């Protein structure tokens, strides 16, 4: 069929959005192209009309996931630092990695990926610390990162990773609460 203007672009955007979700749920290597396309309501055939290769989609999905979490948890309008900590260090975040922080969901997989994917993770990681910096010190000069922002970023990410691994809801909740101290 002849498709309406901009159709292809919007389809591409939904593929990226659904992939961002599916990859966080199943791991970077755990979801195939057929599965990713099915998540977007399509079959595998059209994939290469939208992306050069699988890594291009993975890279964009990582960035999309990072922006999504930034807007939901780290953006200024969420509230002060405590509001961000409460949202990030929550049971809901631990139980739903598919809509949570991409670093806490896929962080350790980034290192072993191709260069474009590694670049996406690098940008996500730097963006995380940068946003936390502006929450800690709203009037700090752009581009400077305080030790406190780096330390607290590590603490938040590590806490969610640990809480997801211990396989014990009560202990997970204790880890999250312990990580709210700063």
Under the binding rule (CB under 8 A), the answer on residue 155 touching a second copy is yes
Under the binding rule (CB under 7 A), the answer on residue 34 touching DNA is yes
User: How many CB atoms sit inside 10 A of residue 157's CB?
Assistant: 19
Under the binding rule (CB under 7 A), the answer on residue 7 touching DNA is yes
Under the binding rule (CB under 8 A), the answer on residue 99 touching a second copy is no
Residue 136 interacting entry, from DNA, a second copy, none, C-beta within 5 to 8 Å by type: none
Under the binding rule (CB under 8 A), the answer on residue 162 touching a second copy is yes
Residue 8 interacting entry, from a second copy, DNA, none, C-beta within 5 to 8 Å by type: DNA
Map residues 37-76 to x or -, x wherever contact with a second copy holds by CB under 8 A: ----------------------------------------
What 3-state class would DSSP assign to 115? helix
DSSP string, 42-79: --GGGHHHH-SSHHHHHHHHHHHHHHHHIIIIISGGG-
Under the binding rule (CB under 7 A), the answer on residue 45 touching DNA is yes
Among 11-19, 24-32, 34-42, 47-55, which window interacts with a second copy (CB under 8 A)? 24-32
Q: How far, CA to CA in Å, does 8 sit from each of 18, 23, 46, 75? A: 15, 22, 11, 30
Kindly state the helix (H) or strand (E) to which residue 85 belongs, with its residue range: helix 81-88
Q: Which of 16, 37, 62, 63 binds DNA (CB under 7 A)?
A: 37
Measure the CA dihedral 101/97/104/85, to 10°.
Answer: 60
């Amino acid at each position: 069929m002849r498709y309406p203007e901009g159709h292809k672009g919007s389809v591409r955007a939904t593929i990226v959005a659904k992939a961002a979700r599916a990859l966080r749920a199943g791991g970077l290597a755990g979801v195939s192209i057929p599965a990713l396309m099915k998540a977007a309501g399509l079959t595998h055939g059209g994939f290469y009309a939208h992306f050069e290769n699988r890594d291009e989609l993975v890279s964009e999905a990582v960035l999309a996931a990072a922006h999504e979490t930034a807007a939901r948890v780290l953006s200024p309008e969420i509230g002060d630092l405590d509001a961000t900590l409460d949202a990030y260090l929550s049971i809901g975040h631990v139980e739903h990695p598919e809509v949570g922080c991409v670093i806490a969901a896929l962080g350790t997989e980034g290192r072993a990926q191709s260069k474009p994917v590694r670049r996406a993770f690098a940008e996500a990681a730097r963006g995380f610390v940068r946003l936390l910096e502006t929450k800690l010190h709203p009037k700090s000069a752009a581009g400077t990162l305080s030790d406190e922002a780096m330390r607290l970023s590590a603490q938040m990410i590590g806490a969610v990773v640990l809480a997801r691994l211990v396989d014990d809801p009560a202990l997970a909740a204790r880890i999250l609460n312990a990580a709210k101290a700063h």
